[in-house]
A and B are shown apart, each in its own frame.
Chain A
Amino acid sequence: MRMTFVSKCLLFSLFMIGSAAFAKESPEVQGNSREAIKAEIDAFIEHHLQDSHDFTLFSYTDDAGEMHHVGFPLPVILWDDGLKIFSSSRLHHGESVAEVDGNYYTLYHSKIYKTNAAGDVTLDDHHHPTNAKPLDFSITKNVFMMLVTALLLLWIFSSLARSYAKHGAVPRGIGRFFEPIVLYIRDDIAIANIGEKKYKRYMPFLLTVFFFIWFLNMFGLTPLGVNVTGNIAVTTALAVLVFLLTNFTGTKDYWKHIFDPLGDGMPWYGKAILYLILVPIEVLGIFIKPFALLIRLYANMTAGHVVLMSLIGLIFIFKSWIGGPLSFGLSFAISMIEVLVALLQAYIFTMLAALYFGFASEEHDHDHGDEPELAHL
């Protein structure tokens, strides 16, 4: 309990720092019209939600009107007729063109495009660049945060594992906080949905995915400005893993449920007609389930970030003694809710993954006429 309080306090203070960092931008927009501020906030939110090639903690504009970004560059890794690795500092946040092995690259809306020495980007009618896009395997901000989270998780849980060896069966330190969560996932998510017999082989995935999502969600609430779990590629990757695990561990009964859902309950000529509709639905269900997972996590986290940042942005639009504290109070309340949502979304993802694994590993010799159709959640 004490741990959660401390982490909340920490989060809150980080949040305050974040707001302060944001506030640094305000003096320079004071003279501008309200519309300009709105546009800037839009752009800021847009930029925040996207991945980026360098880790920017905050940016400010000096008296000379020049933008400064405080942070550190990350390696850019491109596959463009051979591997090209260079530091993202050479792109200067899209302000300059990086020349590598005779090729020119530039950033446009956080994406790397091939360009010429002048850095020209041609746009089509939909304002999409027509320049060639090299395959981008850069260690972006999101990849960097995932690495940090992975190391943090490794450190926390391997120390918990070691503390068992050292202090007998009693967890020490931070493990005291995490052990009940591990047990909760085992007892109320894995065993409850998969069953006593087969839950063990899914445990590592469920635990890893839960803590990975939760930690990244929480990092998303810090002013580091990361939005890893609100990135469609990340949630897709997680959902693809769930999809693969579900279908590769699927038992005979699982596949029978998809391709012969009625079993012996009906003569074949009756089934033939129904199966024209049922089987495609069931097959579609295989894909819809993980798809729902990826969209749910993405949408929830992105929406949270947008709401939170919009509310913070309101402070700069109102710029009054009433509006400011009001939006601050609101954004504080929302960020508290987001702390809950961070946990909740990790829980839901893990819970549903366990549910799907439960369907996949199900084995029954009885007729399943009254089986609850939870599969289509």
Chain B
Amino acid sequence: MEKLVNEFSAGLFFWQIILFALLLWLLHKFAWKPILKAVEQREEGIRSALAAAEEAKKEMQNVTADSEKLLQEARAEREAMLKEARDIKDKMVADAKSQAQAEGEKIIAQAQQSIEGEKKAAIADIKAQVAELSVEIAEKVLREQLSNKDKQLKLVDQLVGDIKLR
């Protein structure tokens, strides 16, 4: 302790107080004040930037939600349009089908009718020809069979024979 007291130098103490006070004042004025102010401003800037970013994020979310909604609406609309189109197409196809069927049926009926007519005419024609032919044939047969007497008689016999008296 005595050594400590002995070591104590009043002059050094004096200079230390003076120098330190001066240094404190100068540093405060030229360093600490501007430094701390700049740092605080920077921190304030960071804080406000973060807040702004947060705000922007929210806004962005809103915008996204809006566009999402729009998109959904558009999608629904498209869906509806497609459905309508499909319906129209189906109806058109169905209409065309039924019309075609009716047309076809009509054509078929007409065809059948005309076929029937043709057939009838043909049959009638055939009938007429057959009648003519059979008359001709009968004429020829008769002419041939009745060319001599025997045969005429034979026929008469046969015919008479066929006639069964009841």
Contacts and interface: CB of A to CB of B under 8 A. Distances in A.
Interface of A: 50-51, 77, 111, 128, 135-140, 142-143, 146-147, 150, 153-154, 157-158, 160-162, 164-165, 169, 179, 182-183, 186, 200, 203-205, 207-208, 212, 231-234, 236-238, 240-241
Nearest to B22: A150
Contacts of B38: 161, 164-165, 169
Given A161-B30, A179-B39, A150 B12 contact: no
B35 A140 contact: no
Q: How large is the interface on B (under 10, 10 to 19, 20 to 34, 35 or more residues)?
A: 20 to 34
A236 B15 contact: no
Interface in B4-26: 4, 6-17, 19-24, 26
B19 A136 contact: no
Interface of B is mostly: helix
Contacts of A50: 7
Contacts of B17: 237, 240-241
A142 B14 CA distance: 12
A74 B14 CA distance: 17
Interface of B: 4, 6-17, 19-24, 26-28, 30-36, 38-39, 41-42, 45
17 contacts: A136-B11, A143-B15, A150-B22, A150-B26, A154-B31, A157-B30, A157-B32, A161-B33, A162-B34, A169-B41, A179-B39, A183-B39, A207-B27, A231-B7, A232-B7, A233-B7, A234-B13
A161 B31 contact: yes
A89 to B, nearest CB: 19
Given A169-B38, A169-B42, A146 B27 contact: no
Contacts of A143: 11-12, 15-16, 19
Contacts of A236: 8, 13
Kindly name the residue among B7, B27, B34 whose own CB sees the greatest number of chain A CB atoms within 10 A.
Answer: B27
A111 B10 CA distance: 12
A165 B20 contact: no
Contacts of A77: 11
Kindly name the residue among B9, B26, B30 whose own CB sees the greatest number of chain A CB atoms within 10 A.
Answer: B9
A275 to B, nearest CB: 31
Contacts of A161: 30-31, 33-35, 38
Given A140-B11, A150-B22, A183-B39, 13 more contacts: A51-B12, A138-B11, A146-B19, A154-B31, A158-B30, A169-B41, A186-B39, A203-B32, A204-B27, A204-B28, A207-B32, A208-B32, A233-B9
A232 B11 contact: no
B16 A146 contact: yes
B123 to A, nearest CB: 115
A153 B23 contact: yes
B35 A160 contact: yes
A208 B16 contact: no
B16 A233 contact: yes
A238 B16 contact: yes
A164 B28 CA distance: 16
A39 B82 CA distance: 108
A241 B24 CA distance: 11
Nearest to B38: A164
Contacts of B30: 154, 157-158, 161
Given A137-B11, A161-B30, A204 B35 contact: no
Nearest to A139: B15
Contacts of B27: 153-154, 157-158, 204, 207-208
Kindly name the residue among B12, B19, B21 whose own CB sees the greatest number of chain A CB atoms within 10 A.
Answer: B12
A143 B20 CA distance: 11
Contact of A233 (B12, B26, B33, B36): B12
A204 B36 CA distance: 10
A290 B99 CA distance: 113
Contacts of A146: 15-16, 19-20
A200 B28 CA distance: 11
Nearest to B41: A169
Contacts of B28: 204, 208
Contact of B31 (A157, A165, A186): A157
B15 A164 contact: no
B11 to A, nearest CB: 4
Contact of B24 (A158, A164, A204): A204
A138 B33 CA distance: 32
Contact of B14 (A137, A164, A207): A137
